[in-house]
Amino acid sequence: MFLQNPRNELPDHFLAFANPTRLRILERLGSEGEVSVNDLAAHLHMSQPRISWHLRMLRVGGVIRTRREGRQVYCSLDIQNIARFRGRLDQLLGIQGRVKVHEEIGA
């Protein structure tokens, strides 16, 4: 099985967001919840192999999770993993404690 290098996790995560098609996929998953790959392809007017390639990038980046049911593959946002990466970014930037202060004052 493919094991990801922890040093590449954060760059891979944010690289997953660096494409307009992948952002459209995430928007759809955010609004609909779990969606089949075929439904995504139809909604975005793209071929299933092309959608699957983008989904792989999102999966490697830890942004989505997939499950198989028979021949259908369903995907959904991996909210817990997204929050974990956001926490790591906040820690890296040293803004963990300061964010609440800005939110409290309305900045």
Structure confidence by residue, pLDDT tens digits, 17-66: 889 999 999 999 999 999 999 999 999 999 999 999 999 999 998 999 99
**87: domain range?**
7-97
Domain-embedded: residue 104: no
In three-state secondary structure terms, 73 is: strand
Tokens matching residue 21 = 């098609």
Q: Which two tokens stand for residue 77?
A: 């946002």
The total of other beta-carbon atoms located within 10 Å of residue 71's CB is 6
Q: How many domains does the chain have?
A: 1
| 85 part of a folded domain | yes
Q: Is residue 1 part of a domain?
A: no
Cα distance between residue 51 and residue 47, in whole Å: 6
Which residues lie closer than 8 Å to 90 by C-beta, 6 or more apart? 96, 99
pTM: 0.77
